[in-house]
Amino acid sequence: EAGVTQSPTHLIKTRGQQATLRCSPISGHTSVYWYQQALGLGLQFLLWYDEGEERNRGNFPPRFSGRQFPNYSSELNVNALELEDSALYLCASSGGNKVHEQFFGPGTRLTVL
């Protein structure tokens, strides 16, 4: 069974640009979560998508947005990039009869110069 995949592995942008990150969940999982992991701050919850809808969002500004496609893959968009957006962005999926267990992808390392 393939795990959660994310692309790209690394992304380098300059301040003010937009970044798009992608995630494919485990087959059969309908929920996708996005987290920001900045150095020393643990995992901060960004967004939760389920069945194509945004179900919840963390304490982040509106320039962090995303969507979930009919095949349950997801996209995270970060507009007007700021230096402090540099972090590892992790995607996780859950589903089936273990909705509480989240399986993480390898992450996308975003660097904003």
CB of 71 to other proteins, least distance (A): 19
Q: Is residue 85 classed as helix, strand or coil in its secondary structure? A: helix
Asked whether position 50 contacts other proteins by CB under 8 A, the answer is yes
d(CA 104, CA 113): 27
Interaction residues for other proteins, span 76-95 (CB under 8 A)? 90, 94
Binding-residue total with other proteins (CB under 8 A)? 24
Asked whether position 40 contacts other proteins by CB under 8 A, the answer is yes
Please give the distance of CA 45 from its chain centroid, rounded to a whole number: 9
CB of 45 to other proteins, least distance (A): 6
For residue 10, the one-letter residue type is: H
Q: Which stretch binds other proteins (CB under 8 A): 15-23, 61-69, 76-84, 100-108?
A: 100-108
Q: Considering only CA atoms, which of 54, 39, 42, 47 is closest in space to residue 91?
A: 47
End-to-end CA distance of the chain: 37
Binding residues (CB under 8 A) for other proteins: these are 4, 31, 33, 40-45, 48, 50, 55-56, 90, 94, 99-107
